[in-house]
Amino acid sequence: MEKPILKVTGIVKNFPGVKALKGVDFDVRAGEVHALCGENGAGKSTLMHILSGVYQPDEGEIYLEGKKVQFHNQKEANEQGIAIVYQERSLVEGLNVAENVFAARQPSNKFSWIHWKQLYRETEEILKSLDIQVNPRTMVSSLSPALQQMVEIAKALSLKPKVLILDEPTAAITEKEVVALFRLIEKLKREGMAIIYISHRLVEIFQLAERVTVFKDGSLVETANVYDVDNNWLVNRMVGRDLELKRVEREIPKDVVLSVKGLCGGSFQDVSFELNRGEIIGFAGLAGAGRTEVMRAIFGADPILEGEIYLNGSKMHPQNTKDSIERGIGYLPEDRKAQGLFLEMSISDNISSAHMNQTGRGIFLDDKRLLTESEKYKEQLRVATPSVRQKVVNLSGGNQQKVVFARWLMVNPRIMIVDEPTRGVDVGAKAEIYQILREMTKKGTSIILVSSDLPEVMSISDRIYVMHEGEITGELSGAEATEEAIMRLASGIRDE
């Protein structure tokens, strides 16, 4: 029972500019739940992608039941007995449950004729074992997100895997389904399945897992038996690191420029905070905590259901993004490729996208002026490119991020919200971006920093708010903020 079903040694995976996995040894045994935790970007997802065949490792080996294996794609991994349930939906809404569970693998004869009775029967069995009360003939489009998640799990189980990987399975399901899911996991354990369970919810780890492994910065920190450790141990292993960034302690006089009271939106409720002039407040939390949603609502990109926002003392209700920008609020989006950049357009066009209405005479653009202004910012931010006429798609991640920054520098808002400003950015550019932020505050701009990078939040912010599942769980001043303290609040651990 001690011999592992799945074992990996020395796994290395690099992406351009990022060392995602720096040599990981990991294993999971039959009949155990092995939990994985760690910050966003610590390497858990990359390892799971490798185990499920989507990525191939640059170095290292995978052993399944003692035999060395290689997966060129997910289908091969599935065939060999590894199944994964991702956070993102892989279901086809236009088909029913049974056809999604046996996606592209419906039982059929050699002419490809589907055996429907068999399909429904086998689906029925799987659903029953999961205690899901769903008719296999139901269209997926009419199921709730929670039920869809269960169908995803059924889909993975239909592969009859030896190893099941679950990535944040409880993220979108209700209490009742969580109970059912846990019962299922216990059952699978008894039947000898090896389960890798990724979760931010530390409570679940202690409920389900035999062993837990902590990842940090691309390396496996430590593996331990769950009985031997507690929350503090986990938090400590997840974040304990030497802070490379020096904190600069600042005295920020109380001068409230933005005050948010009881804000409620689609996925957050009762959010209240204040921002002083020239201050940088950090919003820490785990993925899905709702920080981006709050910021988008303040920026006018999403509707606000309840609550009040006061800008320099006067109440405001952002109607749309143009309105917010005109009032002096800027927003650097989380996903620069999808939301921030016009990839096939020039750097200059990207930089001037939010401010072009303000330059030029009357209805006409002043192309020359926009070019010179863009040049100016290009120099100032040290964007590595020969000309601002270059297409943005050619730049590295860090330089692309600088371009988006430049856009907001041109607008020069009084309040600047930056969402994951250094995600996918190399170390050098990171430091430059921090410098940009500090410079902005010197000029009187106040900054809200949303970030999952704890050292970043801690070294840049004057104060830190922590969010968990749509609510603010705590406020820490720069000095009293330790990584453990933040992580505890972010994980929803309350000091009872």
Partner 1 sequence: MEQTIKKNKTKGTFSPGKVIDLVAQKRWLIPLTLIVVYVIAFAVLYPSVFLTKYNLASLLLEFSIPAFVIIGMAIQLINGEIDLSVGYVVMFSNVCVACLIVLGVPVWGAIAITVLFCALIGWLVGVLVAGVGVNSFIATLGSGMAFYGLGLMVFDYGYKYGTNNPNPNGLDLLHLPDSFKNIAQLQIGGFQLPVYYALAVIAVFVVLMSKSKYFKQYYYIGMNKEAAELSGIRVKRTKIAAFVISATLSSLAGVLLVARMGSGATTLGVGMELKAITAVVIGGVSFKGGRGTMIGAVFGGLFVYCVNNALRITNAPSNLYKVIEGLILLCAVILDAQFSKRKIVG
Partner 2 sequence: MEKTKQRKRGSIFQFVIEKRALALLILILVFCLAFSLVFPDTFGTLGNFSGILLNMSAEGLIVVAIVPLLIVGEIDLSLGAVMVLGSILCGRLMILDDMNMWLAILISLGVSVLCGLINGIIVAKINVVSFIATLATSMIYLGIAVMLAGTGWTDFPDPLFRTLGQGKILNIQLPVIYIIVIFIIMSLLISRTRYFRQCYYIGGNAKAAELSAINTGKTKIVLYMIASGMACISGIISAMRFNSALTSIGAGVEMRAVTAAVIGGVCFTGGAGTMAGAAMGALFVACLNNALTIASISQNMQNVITGVVLILAIVLDVVLAKKKAE
* Cα separation, 34 vs 198, whole angstroms: 9
Told to check if 56 binds partner 1 by CB under 8 A, we report no
Told to check if 54 binds partner 2 by CB under 8 A, we report yes
Question: HSE (CB half, 13 Å, CA atoms) of 274?
Answer: 12
Told to check if 314 binds partner 2 by CB under 8 A, we report no
| 320 interface partner picked from partner 2, partner 1, none, CB below 5 to 8 A per type | partner 1
| 215 interface partner picked from partner 2, partner 1, none, CB below 5 to 8 A per type | none
> What residues have CB less than 8 Å from 294, skipping those under 6 apart?
263, 265, 268, 271, 283, 467
* Beta-strand relationship, 271-276 and 256-264: antiparallel
* Cα separation, 29 vs 6, whole angstroms: 7
* Cα separation, 496 vs 479, whole angstroms: 23
Among 301, 304, 316, 493, binds partner 1 (CB under 8 A): 301
8 Å CB contact between 268 and 293: yes
8 Å CB contact between 485 and 473: no
Told to check if 46 binds partner 2 by CB under 8 A, we report no
Calculate the alpha carbon distances from 59 to 6, 90, 139, 216 in Å: 17, 29, 43, 19
Tokens of 94: 């236009």
* Cα separation, 168 vs 346, whole angstroms: 39
The alpha carbon of residue 411 and the mean position of all alpha carbons in its chain are separated, in whole angstroms, by 28
Sole window of 81-89, 159-167, 192-200, 336-344 interacting with partner 1 (rule: CB under 8 A): 336-344
Q: Per-residue DSSP letters for 192-232?
A: T-EEEEE-S-HHHHHHH-SEEEEEETTEEEEEEEGGG--HH
Site for partner 2 in 88-107 (CB under 8 A): 89-95, 99, 103-106
Sole window of 28-36, 136-144, 330-338, 430-438 interacting with partner 2 (rule: CB under 8 A): 136-144
Told to check if 248 binds partner 1 by CB under 8 A, we report no
In the complex, minimum distance from the CB of residue 243 to partner 2, in angstroms, rounded to a whole number: 38
Sole window of 59-67, 128-136, 140-148, 358-366 interacting with partner 1 (rule: CB under 8 A): 358-366
| 106 interface partner picked from partner 2, partner 1, none, CB below 5 to 8 A per type | partner 2
Q: Nearer to partner 1 by C-beta: 60 or 360?
A: 360
Told to check if 390 binds partner 1 by CB under 8 A, we report yes
8 Å CB contact between 232 and 487: no
Q: Nearer to partner 1 by C-beta: 37 or 332?
A: 332
Query: How many binding residues for partner 2 (CB under 8 A)?
Result: 25
Q: Nearer to partner 2 by C-beta: 54 or 178?
A: 54
Sole window of 76-84, 268-276, 344-352, 431-439 interacting with partner 1 (rule: CB under 8 A): 344-352
CA angle 238, 239, 244 (to 5 degrees): 145
* Cα separation, 370 vs 210, whole angstroms: 60
In the complex, minimum distance from the CB of residue 234 to partner 2, in angstroms, rounded to a whole number: 32
Sole window of 135-143, 256-264, 418-426, 482-490 interacting with partner 2 (rule: CB under 8 A): 135-143
The SS3 assignment for 295 reads helix
Query: Could you say which DSSP state residue 167 is in?
Result: E
| 364 interface partner picked from partner 1, partner 2, none, CB below 5 to 8 A per type | partner 1
8 Å CB contact between 76 and 87: no
Among 31, 60, 266, 360, binds partner 1 (CB under 8 A): 360
Question: HSE (CB half, 13 Å, CA atoms) of 185?
Answer: 26
Among 40, 87, 339, 380, binds partner 1 (CB under 8 A): 339
Query: How many binding residues for partner 1 (CB under 8 A)?
Result: 37
Closest by Cα among 12, 52, 357 to 196 = 52
Sole window of 86-94, 223-231, 244-252, 286-294 interacting with partner 2 (rule: CB under 8 A): 86-94
Closest by Cα among 159, 413, 443, 444 to 276 = 444
Among 346, 374, 422, 446, binds partner 1 (CB under 8 A): 346
Told to check if 364 binds partner 1 by CB under 8 A, we report yes
| 390 interface partner picked from partner 2, partner 1, none, CB below 5 to 8 A per type | partner 1
Which residues contact partner 1 (rule: CB under 8 A)? 299, 301, 320-322, 324-326, 331, 333, 338-346, 349, 353-354, 356-357, 360, 363-365, 367, 386-387, 389-391, 393-394, 407
Which residues contact partner 2 (rule: CB under 8 A)? 54, 73-75, 89-95, 99, 103-106, 108, 111-114, 116, 139, 141-142
